[in-house]
Amino acid sequence: MNITLNNIHKRFGPVHANKGITAAFGEGQIVGILGENGAGKSTLMKILSGFQPADSGEILLDNNHIRYDGPQSALAYGIGMLQQDPLDVGAFTVLENYVFGRSDRFLPKWRDAEQELLQLVQRFGFDLDPDTPIENLSIAQRQQLEIIRLLGLGVQALILDEPTTGISAEQKATLFDALRRLAHQDKLVVLLVSHKLEDVIDLCDSVIVLRSGENVGSMLMPETHTLSPALMNETKARLVQMMFGQELPQQKRQSAATSRAIMQLNNLHVQDKRLHIAGVSLTVHAGEVIGLAGLDGSGQELFMRAVCGLTRTAEGKIHVGNQDLTGKPYRQFMTNGVVFGAAGRLEEGLIAGLTLTEHIALVDDTQAFIDWQTLSKATQEKIAHYNVRGRPSDEIQQLSGGNQQRVLMALLPEQPELLILEQPTRGLDVDSAHWIWEQLLFRRQHGTAIIFSSPELDELVAYSDRILVFYSGRIHEVTDVSGTTIDQLGHLIGGEFSQ
Ligand SMILES: Nc1ncnc2c1ncn2[C@@H]1O[C@H](COP(=O)(O)OP(=O)(O)OP(=O)(O)O)[C@@H](O)[C@H]1O
Ligand SMILES: [Mg+2]
């Protein structure tokens, strides 16, 4: 199938999200859709996959004009999309989800469906069991399921919106292999929205770049076998130039750690269904940045939740300042200046259906009664300060992913003792990620300690004073971060350390 988008326009109130975008995607091709936060990428892809109607413009499939009235009709034409923030968690199993969305006419027998599912799982080396309840799946597994569900429905074009956020390097390699086969062997059109330039360069045959709602150009990606580190850097620089109209400055790392202890962990044990973190002793100092590395589900999430009272600890002590907070709830930690920020934007941190002002109201405890006028003004100020593209009355899910992340940042208190942040730059473009770190480092300069997790090794190396590498609940501490290469860190994350 060949896809042509012709002069697509889409407005949301005053925001002109797509300003006459024209683009063509050929079959058998993997095309990257690049652009800064709010550039209009998700909007364009939602229009192509029927989740949103365009205000005007045309969609042509194999040169035929098509009109959809929703994602189901786009699917009937063979176009399927994985959403940026998958929310469809229900009490279903993998197999039930796999056959979900088929019309009765196509509803296969359970056993046939299971065979089909297993064949796809095996072909792509996915990690899925038909009987697992969806809610027990990791982000990567949900994604794998959604891909094969769409394939089961016979899609000819597969759209993925930031699929590599929140998955491990290994899971990413599996995903990319699957996408290469789907495009190059099965001749699907694969469209990939991403901020990760390395990923795009590695996977895509070509890219288009959107800036402020316009298509500002396209570029062929180098052949994989010719891709040297030098060519990688050169290609990245050219893409950044296209995305932002300028090259970004490199930043230097400087420590602001002091000797004042903020948090002390003493022989801490934490246990959940799968993992056991045993005997951690650690002192966190004011102004210190501690990065947590590890594959998805290696214990870093559990650790972060345990040290701020969100998960029960099995043994050991947690002191904050000179207070013993062992076994106390998160609220106690918060009153002592320990604040947690979750990665799952719409799962934990933000509430779909609430406006920006309502979010600010939720965290505001200075007033006994809610004064909406004052709050709306405060929200305006936050929006301006944090450079959020949105209005106080917008519901949070209407914002682009990167702008949601900025709102999360705006909701954090100004000067906590310790910030515990899960993947603080998840889904952000280079420029926005840089901006978030400026905000964090500003707080650190004033003594706030930061513990953060990230799947990005270069982010860990760039900002951490120390790195704790997690591998199935075991922890290896890297103290000499500037003397550690990304490559060495990669090996540690894979479990190549003894303890
Ligand atoms: N449903 C909506 N209601 C109001 N505004 C919207 C809606 N969806 C998108 N927008 C706005 O349109 C613009 C483009 O958003 P879009 O989600 O397409 O950006 P994006 O390129 O995907 O960004 P990101 O990289 O942050 O995900 C943004 O300013 C966003 O706030
Ligand atoms: Mg988006």
Query: DSSP labels for 73-89?
Result: HHHHTTEEEE-SS----
CA-proximal residue: ligand 1, atom 29 (nearest): 38
Question: How far is the centre of ligand 2, averaged over its atoms, from the C-alpha of 135 (Å)?
Answer: 24
Predicted pLDDT at 499: 47
Mutate-to-test residue for ligand 1 from 49, 207, 400, 426, highest number of ligand atoms within 8 A of CB: 400
265-279: per-residue pLDDT in tens? Answer: 999 999 988 889 989
- DSSP string of 385-420? HTT-SS-TTSBGGGS-HHHHHHHHHHHS-SS-SEEE
Nearest to 311 by CA among 218, 200, 422, 177: 422
**Residue of minimum CA distance from atom 1 in ligand 1:** 398
Domains of the chain: 3-244 (3.40.50.300), 261-493 (3.40.50.300)
pLDDT of res. 84: 59
How big, in percent rounded to 5, are the helix, strand and coil portions of the chain?
35, 25, 40
Say yes or no: CB of residue 405 within 6 Å of ligand 1. no
Query: What pLDDT is recorded for position 107?
Result: 65
d(CA 436, CA 386): 9
Classify residue 248 by its DSSP letter. P
Residue 35 Cα to ligand 2 midpoint, Å, equals 9
- Ranges of residues in the chain with a pLDDT under 50 are 248-250, 499
CA 393, 398, 400, 402 dihedral sign is positive
Could you tell me if 311 and 338 are in contact, meaning their C-beta atoms sit under 8 angstroms apart? no
Which residues lie below 8 Å from residue 73, measured CB to CB, with a gap of 6+? 50
Nearest atom in ligand 1 to 394's CA: 4
* 129 token code pair: 């069991």
Q: What is the pLDDT of residue 307?
A: 96
* Ligand 1 centroid to residue 213 C-alpha, Å: 10
Q: What is the pTM for the complete model shown?
A: 0.65
- Ligand approaching nearest to the C-alpha of 18: 1
Distance in Å, CA 262 to ligand 2 centroid: 37
Rounded Cα–Cα distance for residues 451 and 291 (Å)? 6
Structural element, H or E, at residue 461: helix 457-463
Distance in Å, CA 432 to ligand 2 centroid: 13
End-to-end CA distance of the chain: 53
**Contact assessment for residue 257 and residue 468, using Cβ atoms and an 8 Å cutoff:** no
The pLDDT assigned to 369 comes to 66
Q: What is the pLDDT of residues 95-148, one digit of tens each?
A: 888 877 676 556 667 888 899 899 999 999 999 999 988 888 888 888 999 999
Ligand 2 centroid, distance to 261 Cα (angstroms): 40
- 221: three-class secondary structure by DSSP: coil
Which atom number of ligand 1 is nearest to the Cα of residue 397? 1
Cβ count near 103 (within 10 Å): 9
Return the exposure string of 465-480: e unless at least 16 CB atoms fall within 10 Å of the residue's CB, then b: bbbbbbbebbbbebee
Decide if 41 contacts 210 (C-beta within 8 A): yes
Cβ of 213 less than 6 Å from ligand 1: no
